[in-house]
Amino acid sequence: MTSLADRPDNPAVGQAVSHESAALHVTGTALYTDDLVGRMRGCLHAWPVQAPHAHAYVTALRTEPASAIPGVVRVLTAADVPGVNDAGAKDDEPLFPREVMYYGHAVCWVLGETAEAAQLGAAAVEVDYQELPSLLTLTEAIDAASFQGNQPVVARGDAEAGLKRAPHRFSGSFEFGGQEHFYLETHTSLAHVDESGQVFIQSSTQHPSETQEIVAHVLGLTNSEVTVQCLRMGGGFGGKEMQPHGLAAVAALGAVLTGRPVRLRLNRTQDMTMTGKRHPMHASWEVGFDDDGLLLALRATITSDGGWSLDLSEPVLARALCHIDNAYFIPDVEVLGRIAKTNKTSQTAFRGFGGPQGMLVIEDILGRCAPALGIEPAELRRRNFYAPGQSTPYGQPVRHAERLQDIWAQLSVRADVERRRAAVERFNASHEHSKRGLAMTPVKFGISFNFTAFNQAGALVHVYKDGSVLVNHGGTEMGQGLHTKIRQVAATALGVPLDFVRLAPTRTDKVPNTSATAASSGADLNGGAVKHACEQIREQLAEVAARKLDTQPYNVRFVDGRVTSLGSAESLSFAELVHTAYFQRTPLFAAGFYRTEGIHWDSTQMQGEPFKYFSYGAAVSEVEVDGFTGAYRFLRTDIVHDVGDSLSPLIDQGQIEGAFVQGAGWLTLEELRWDTSAGPDRGRLATQAASTYKIPSFSEMPEELNVHLYERATESGVVYGSKAVGEPPLMLAFSVREAIRAAAAAFGPAGRPLELPSPATPEAVFWAVQEARAAAGRGTLPATTSAASGAGG
Amino acid sequence: MEPHEVKVNGVPRVLAAGPQVSLLDWLRGQGLTGAKEGCAEGECGACAVLVAREDGPDRTRWTAVNSCLPAALAFDGGEVVTSEGLGRAPGACSAEELHPVQREMADRGGSQCGYCTPGFVCAMAAEYYRPERQPAAEEREPCHGPNGFDLHALSGNLCRCTGYRPIRDAAYALGAPAEADPLAARREASAPAAKRTRFVSSGTEFIRPETLQELLNRLEQDPDAVLVAGATDVGVERNLRHSRPRLVLAIDRLEELRGLDIATEYVEIGAALALSEVEQGLGGRVPLLSELFPQFASRLIRNSATLGGNLGTGSPIGDAAPVLLALDATLLLTSPRGERSVALADYFTGYRQTAREPDEIIRAVRVPLPLAPITAFHKVAKRRFDDISSVAVAFAARFDGAVVADVRIGLGGIAATPLRAKATEDALAGRELTRESAAEAAAVLASEGTPMDDHRASARYRAAMLEQAMLRFYADNAPELEVIR
Alpha-carbon span A758 to A263, nearest angstrom: 38
Q: What average pLDDT score do residues A110-131 get? A: 98
Q: Is B173 a member of any domain?
A: yes
Quote the number of domains for chain B. 3
Domain boundary among B133, B159, B186: B186
Least CB–CB distance from A766: residue in B121, B155, B464: B464
ipTM higher than threshold 0.90:
yes
Strands (E) located in A486-612: 501-503, 506-507, 556-559, 562-565, 571-573, 589-595, 600-602, 607-609
Residues B60 and B35 in one domain: yes
B160–A183 CB contact, under 8 Å: yes
Residue A728 has pLDDT above 80, yes or no: yes
Percent of chain A at pLDDT > 90 equals: 95
pLDDT tens digits, residue range A669-718? 999 999 999 999 999 999 999 999 999 999 999 999 999 999 999 999 99
Q: What is the pLDDT of residue B319?
A: 92
Q: Which residue from A636, A633, A627 is spatially nearest to A434, judged by alpha carbons?
A: A627
Residue type, A468: S
Give the mean model confidence (pLDDT) for residues B226-239: 96
Q: What is the pLDDT of residue A781?
A: 41
Chain B contact present for A601, CB below 8 A: no
Backbone angles phi, psi at A602, to 5 degrees: -105, 105
Q: Final residue of a domain: which of B148, B167, B186?
A: B186
pLDDT at A782 over 50: no
The answer to whether residue B450 sits within a structural domain is yes
Put simply, whether A182 touches B (Cβ < 8 Å) is yes
Q: Among A30, A657, A692, whose Cβ lies nearest the Cβ of B163?
A: A657
Indicate which CATH number applies to the domain containing B236: 3.30.43.10
Nearest CA of chain A to the CA of B50: how many Å? 14
Q: Of all helices (H) and strands (E), which one includes residue A158?
A: none
Determine the distance in angstroms separating the CA of A239 from the nearest CA of chain B, rounded to an integer. Answer: 13
- B3-61, pLDDT tens digit by residue? 899 999 999 999 999 999 999 999 999 999 999 999 999 999 999 999 999 999 999 99
- State the best of A26, A478, A691 to mutate against chain B, taking most chain B CBs within 10 Å: A26
Confidence tier at A520 by pLDDT (50, 70, 90): very high
Distance from CA of B31 to the nearest CA of A (A): 7
Residue contact B456–A21, C-beta within 8 A: no
Q: Is pLDDT at A778 greater than 80 in this prediction?
A: no
HSE (CB half, 13 Å, CA atoms) of B400? Answer: 8
| CB contact set of A411 (below 8 Å; sequence gap of 6+) | A417, A440, A618, A619, A620, A638, A639, A640
Tell me the pLDDT of chain A averaged across its residues: 96
- Confidence grade of residue B458 (pLDDT, cut at 50, 70, 90): very high
pLDDT of residue B1: 57
By Cβ distance, the residue of A690, A698, A770 closest to B154 is A698
Query: Strand B348-350 and strand A607-609: pairing?
Result: unpaired
Give pLDDT, residue A786: 38
Confidence of residue A787 (pLDDT cuts 50, 70, 90): very low
Neighboring chain B residues of A237 at a CB cutoff of 8 Å = 160
A549-555 average pLDDT score: 95
Q: Is the CA virtual torsion B291, B297, B302, B303 positive or negative?
A: positive
Q: What pLDDT score does B141 carry?
A: 81
Last residue of a domain, one of B134, B154, B186: B186
Q: Give mean pLDDT, residues A88-110.
A: 95
Looking at the fold, whether B179 and B203 belong to one and the same domain comes out as no
In this prediction, residue A2 carries a pLDDT of 62
pLDDT at A106: 98
B484 vs A775, residue with greater confidence? A775
B14 & B126 share domain: yes
In DSSP terms, A284 is beta-bridged to A173, A301
Is pLDDT of A788 > 80?
no
**What is the C-alpha to C-alpha distance for residues B73 and B22, in angstroms, rounded to an integer?**
8
Same domain, B13 and B154: yes
Nearest to A178 by CA among A304, A55, A54: A304
Please report residues of B whose CB lies closer than 8 A to that of A703. Answer: none
**Same domain for B126 and B226:** no
Query: Residue B332 CB: number of other CB atoms within 10 A?
Result: 18
In a domain, B90, yes or no: yes
DSSP A187: P
Confidence of residue A27 (pLDDT cuts 50, 70, 90): very high
Q: Which of A119, A236, A661 sits opposite B164 (nearest CB)?
A: A661
B202 or A267, which is more confident = A267
Mean of the pLDDT values across residues B322-341?
Answer: 97
Which residues in chain A are closer than 8 Å to B68, comparing Cβ atoms?
none
- Of A187, A189, A231, give the one whose Cα is nearest residue A44: A189
Regarding whether B220 and B142 lie in a shared domain, the answer is: no
Least confident of A240-254, B99-113, B376-390: B376-390
Point out the residue among B155, B159, B383 whose CB comes nearest to the CB of A669: B383
Residues of B in contact with A654 (CB under 8 A): 109, 112, 161-163, 166
Q: What's the mean per-residue pLDDT of chain B?
A: 95
Enumerate the active-site residues of A.
727
Question: Does position A783 have pLDDT exceeding 60, yes or no?
Answer: no
Q: What is chain B's Cα-based Rg?
A: 23
> Looking at the domain assignment, is residue B382 inside a domain?
yes
In a domain, B270, yes or no: no
Is residue A306 over pLDDT 60? yes
- Cα dihedral: A162, A168, A173, A178 (round 10): -80
What pLDDT, on the 0 to 100 scale, is given for residue A792? 36
For chain A, which domains are there?
22-29+456-595 (3.30.365.10), 33-133+181-274 (3.30.365.10), 281-450+604-778 (3.30.365.10)
pLDDT tier for residue A91 given thresholds of 50, 70 and 90: confident
Residues B16 and B158 in one domain: yes
Q: Are residues B45 and B86 in the same domain?
A: yes
Kindly state whether residue B344 falls inside one of the protein's structural domains: no
Q: Are A112 and A119 in contact (CB under 8 A)?
A: yes
Chain B hits for A631, Cβ within 8 Å: 380, 384
Structural domain of B383: 373-485
A residues 746-775 near B, CB within 8 Å?
761-763, 766-767, 770
Contacts of B35 in chain A (CB under 8 A): 28
CATH number at residue B482: 3.30.390.50
Tell me the CATH number at B164: 3.10.20.30
Question: Which of B53, B52, B23 minimizes the C-alpha distance to B40?
Answer: B23
Q: Nearest 5°: phi and psi at A684?
A: -75, 135
Residues B180 and B205 in one domain: no
Question: A779 — contact with chain B (CB < 8 Å)?
Answer: no
Which chain A residues in 26-55 lie under 8 Å from chain B, judged by CB atoms? 26-32, 34-35, 38
pLDDT in tens, A379-403: 999 999 999 999 999 999 999 999 9
pLDDT level of residue A789 (50, 70, 90 thresholds): very low
Chain B hits for A689, CB-CB cut-off 8 Å, are 39, 41, 43, 240
Instruction: Flag whether B311 is in a domain.
Output: no
Are B101 and B212 part of one and the same domain? Answer: no
B150 and B212, same domain (yes or no):
no
**B333 domain-assigned:** no
CB contact under 8 A, B96 and A232: no
B204 and B173 belong to one structural domain:
no
- Closest chain A residue to the Cα of B86, Cα to Cα: A27
